Copies of this chain bind each other. A is one copy, B any other.
Amino acid sequence: MRLLPFVALLILFLPSQVKTAELSDASSECLDCHVSIAPGMVAGWQSSRHARVSPLESLKKPELERRVSAKWVPSDLVQSVVGCAECHTLNPEKHSDTFEHNGYQVHIVVTPEDCATCHPVEEKQYGQNLMSHAYGNLLNNSLYQDLVQTLNGVQFFDDGHISIKPASPETNEDSCLSCHGTRVEVKGFDSRETAMGEMEFPVLSGWPNVGVGRINPDGSKGSCSSCHTGHRFSIEMARKPHTCSQCHKGPDVPIYKIYQVSKHGNIYSSIGKKWNFEEVPWTVGEDFTAPTCATCHVSLVVTPEGDIVAERTHQMNNRLPWRIFGLIYAHAHPKSPDTSVIKSKAGLPLPTDLNGEPASTYLIDNNEQQKRRKILQKVCLSCHTQQWVDGHWARFENNIRTTNEMTMTATELMLKAWETGAAKGLAQNDSIFNEAIEKKWMEHWLFFANSTRMSSAMLGTDYGVFDNGRWYMAKNIQEIYDWLRMMLAVNSETSIEEKLKKK
């Protein structure tokens, strides 16, 4: 008797599991070999929605439920499920990594431009996302390029002094570019012995990589699989906070750690296993009862009554009035996702000058900030009262002010250090990121002020207090002050330098 409902349930699930769309002949040929060459990769795809549903079926869904944003899909792709060949043979002429492979023009790196065949709105939005420009925003900015060098370059001690050797491409790819994205280029072609005999493949530099601003062999930017992990490309994974943790957990952006110990993260960890992470649209209170990262920043969220709380966005910053990490001072979001165009009043490639003055021409104005604030607050308001939300935001924006003030103090100490010769800076034509005292200053904004702001934004208290929060800001200013004085003492004793030289 206990069996009956389960029997019924099985019958219910049957129809949805019967594949109505089939695999294309081309993809079928791929699988013939690859099922035994990299079986885990194939298995990932087999459990994906791509393996079960054709674009045609997806296009028939009501608009809110649709996962494809294309109005139409090319006729040769629309009827079969989305298999290997459907993606890896798209736009062959644009891909410098295209090669002849068993009669097909295959490319290795599937790119946002490929994905845009079915998901053009997401691709376009993502192009407006700072993340898609993460490679150039780092390396086309002279100051940030110097930061990368002083971070990744190997240091040598020679005759009393420390020098830095430029970092190799492998090191940068293994470090900053792992998240920011590498430049993937075809270095040549090489033939290799395989299980199927000798075959020729393109040889890629900057590979592998799934960084958010990856420069692809077709010239496009980004990698959808940063978040929609291949080859399952699951919405469930992208909606879970673990995906964001891949890049957002270190002291520079401790967002994942903050989320984990926030009330929201607590609810997710405690009862999130009962939630529905697959449903589109995503219904607050029904599918989930506390937000993950995606809820506030990306997803199409609706109420149980079907009203839209937030439109889906892959631009993300259109829900964000402030840019609170990665730069010296928090500031209004840049207008362009390409931040390498920014020049401050003092001529620095920064959205604020060292004295905190914003490069306003390049940043969104108060009206745009207010618009974005309202969009994000609407998500808050689906579970909280207006007064709750107002109180929360008042503290957050007070936090932005005070962390900026604390950074100003740290910066004034550095200006004094450069002025008095306790450290060498721009005036001495030296890096402002290489000495110990400069690195303490950098930690002030890059770690502690950032952490304090994010902690407030997402309610992960201790990251604003003892865990790289205000405690560290307060301590750091005192340490910079002492270190500055100690360097002055050391520099005045010329005998010390002599002692460090080779004998």
A interface list, Cβ under 8 A from B: 2-12, 14, 35-36, 38-44, 46-47, 108, 150-157, 162, 168, 170-171, 173-176, 178-179, 192, 194, 201, 203-204, 207-208, 210, 229, 232, 234, 236-237, 240, 242-243, 245-247, 249-252, 256, 260-263, 265-267, 269-271, 273, 284-286, 289-290, 303-305, 307, 381-388, 391-392, 394-396, 398-399, 402, 405-406, 409, 412-413, 416, 420, 434-437, 439, 446-447, 456, 459, 461-467, 469-471, 474-475, 477-479, 481-490, 492-493, 495-496, 499-500
Q: Are A481 and B261 in contact (CB under 8 A)?
A: no
Q: Are B40 and A465 in contact (CB under 8 A)?
A: no
Q: Are A36 and B246 in contact (CB under 8 A)?
A: no
Q: Are B474 and A155 in contact (CB under 8 A)?
A: yes
Measured between beta carbons, the chain B residues less than 8 angstroms from A152 are 470
Measured CB to CB, the nearest residue on chain B to A455 is B174
Q: Which of B43, B108, B462 contacts A304 (CB 8 A)?
A: B43
Q: Are B208 and A40 in contact (CB under 8 A)?
A: no
Q: Are A387 and B204 in contact (CB under 8 A)?
A: yes
Q: Are A39 and B303 in contact (CB under 8 A)?
A: yes
Measured between beta carbons, the chain B residues less than 8 angstroms from A447 are 466
Most chain B CB atoms below 10 A, which of A210, A394, A420, A462:
A462
Q: Are B154 and A469 in contact (CB under 8 A)?
A: no
- Chain B min CB distance to A491 (Å): 9
Q: Which of B43, B162, B470 contacts A409 (CB 8 A)?
A: B162
Measured between beta carbons, the chain B residues less than 8 angstroms from A157 are 409, 412-413, 416, 477, 481
Measured between beta carbons, the chain B residues less than 8 angstroms from A305 are 36, 39
Q: Which of B5, B405, B500 contacts A9 (CB 8 A)?
A: B5
Q: How far is the CA of A169 from the CA of B305 in the complex (A)?
A: 39
Measured between beta carbons, the chain B residues less than 8 angstroms from A500 are 416, 420, 484-485
Measured between beta carbons, the chain B residues less than 8 angstroms from A489 are 486, 489-490, 493, 496
Q: Which of B9, B251, B413 contacts A466 (CB 8 A)?
A: B251
Q: Indicate whether A229 sits within 8 Å of B267 (C-beta atoms), given known contacts A40-B284, A474-B155.
A: yes
- What 10 A-B pairs have minimum CB-CB distances, sorted nearest first? A43-B285, A5-B8, A40-B383, A250-B462, A436-B478, A242-B269, A170-B398, A250-B466, A178-B461, A250-B467
Q: Are B175 and A469 in contact (CB under 8 A)?
A: yes
Q: Are A261 and B256 in contact (CB under 8 A)?
A: yes
Measured between beta carbons, the chain B residues less than 8 angstroms from A7 are 3
Can you list 7 A-B contacts with CB-CB less than 8 angstroms, sorted by A residue number? A39-B383, A156-B405, A245-B261, A251-B466, A436-B475, A482-B486, A489-B496
Q: How far is the CA of A307 from the CA of B36 in the complex (A)?
A: 9
Q: How far is the CA of A178 from the CA of B263 in the complex (A)?
A: 12
Q: How far is the CA of A242 from the CA of B290 in the complex (A)?
A: 14
Q: How far is the CA of A475 from the CA of B444 in the complex (A)?
A: 14
| Assembly stoichiometry (copies) | 3
Q: Are B263 and A210 in contact (CB under 8 A)?
A: yes
Measured between beta carbons, the chain B residues less than 8 angstroms from A270 are 234, 236-237, 240, 242-243
Measured between beta carbons, the chain B residues less than 8 angstroms from A6 are 6, 10, 12
- Chain B min CB distance to A272 (Å): 10
Measured between beta carbons, the chain B residues less than 8 angstroms from A381 are 38
Q: Are A10 and B3 in contact (CB under 8 A)?
A: yes
Q: Are B229 and A266 in contact (CB under 8 A)?
A: yes
Most chain B CB atoms below 10 A, which of A4, A41, A203, A469:
A41
Q: Are B179 and A461 in contact (CB under 8 A)?
A: yes
Q: How far is the CA of A303 from the CA of B247 in the complex (A)?
A: 31
Q: Indicate whether A435 sits within 8 Å of B478 (C-beta atoms), given known contacts A232-B289, A263-B246.
A: yes
Q: How far is the CA of A260 from the CA of B467 in the complex (A)?
A: 17
Measured CB to CB, the nearest residue on chain B to A398 is B170
Measured between beta carbons, the chain B residues less than 8 angstroms from A151 are 465, 470-471, 474
Q: How far is the CA of A447 from the CA of B154 in the complex (A)?
A: 17
Q: How far is the CA of A35 from the CA of B307 in the complex (A)?
A: 12
Q: Are B420 and A383 in contact (CB under 8 A)?
A: no
Q: Are B271 and A237 in contact (CB under 8 A)?
A: yes
Q: How far is the CA of A466 from the CA of B48 in the complex (A)?
A: 34
Measured between beta carbons, the chain B residues less than 8 angstroms from A249 are 261, 462, 467
Q: Which of B38, B271, B461 contacts A384 (CB 8 A)?
A: B38
Q: Are B192 and A386 in contact (CB under 8 A)?
A: yes
Most chain B CB atoms below 10 A, which of A11, A261, A286:
A261
A38-B382, A170-B398 known; 15 new pairs, CB 8 Å cut-off, are A5-B8, A6-B6, A8-B8, A108-B387, A154-B405, A168-B402, A207-B391, A246-B261, A249-B261, A250-B463, A250-B466, A250-B467, A420-B500, A434-B478, A436-B479
